[in-house]
Amino acid sequence: MQAHIEAEVAAGLTNLDRYRGNHLAAITPFEQEVFHIEMHDIPRLGAAYWAWEVACGIIHDKLAGDPDLANALAAELEIVQQGRTLSAKDRSHTDFAEAWTAFAKLFGIPYRLAFAFFWKNYFMDVRLGHILHEGDYHGPDFMAVAHTEDEPPF
């Protein structure tokens, strides 16, 4: 896993422009300012966070091309077991964030940076509607009351 992360980081540092944007392994200029994350940190953060989400079962993909690696990590690392349990219940739980920061530390990511990247991605998921909280308002569902010949207003 370490070799895979290091290869991703080396490749990423040669093309930082691919890390600009609004997705898990990228950052917007506003997020850089708010979370105080530098562009050169994003390749390592993105690679480790993607591995974390795969290991926790949030993203269903192969780790480093190995379909069994996520389960092997869960079998060996208590923090991944904890992450799997908490991700199904509440990804905003402080224990889930702490498990991620412990995982990130394995790949040379300092606590503050891991914690900032966690919340950057959490709030991105909330903005995109991937994480919903009771009482959240996302506006009226126009299509729920529209007729088939109606066009959406936006």
pLDDT value for 138: 56
Distance CA 51, CA 103 (A): 10
Please tell me the number of Cα atoms within 13 Å of 30 on its side-chain side: 4
Structural domain spans, the chain = 40-128
DSSP state at residue 32: H
Query: What is the structure's pLDDT at 93?
Result: 72
Closest CA to 16 of 2, 29, 1: 29
| Spacing of C-alpha 125 from chain mean position | 8
Structure tokens that stand for 70 in this block: 């996520």
Q: Cα separation of 60 and 134, whole Å?
A: 26
In tens digits, what is the pLDDT along the chain, a chain of 154 residues? 888 899 999 999 999 988 888 777 889 899 999 999 999 999 999 999 999 988 988 888 888 788 888 888 888 889 898 888 887 677 767 788 999 999 999 999 999 999 999 999 888 887 777 776 666 655 545 444 444 555 544 4
pTM as predicted: 0.79
Contacts 24+ apart (CB under 8 A), 76-85: 77/103, 79/103, 80/55, 80/56, 83/52, 83/55, 83/56, 84/55, 84/56, 84/57
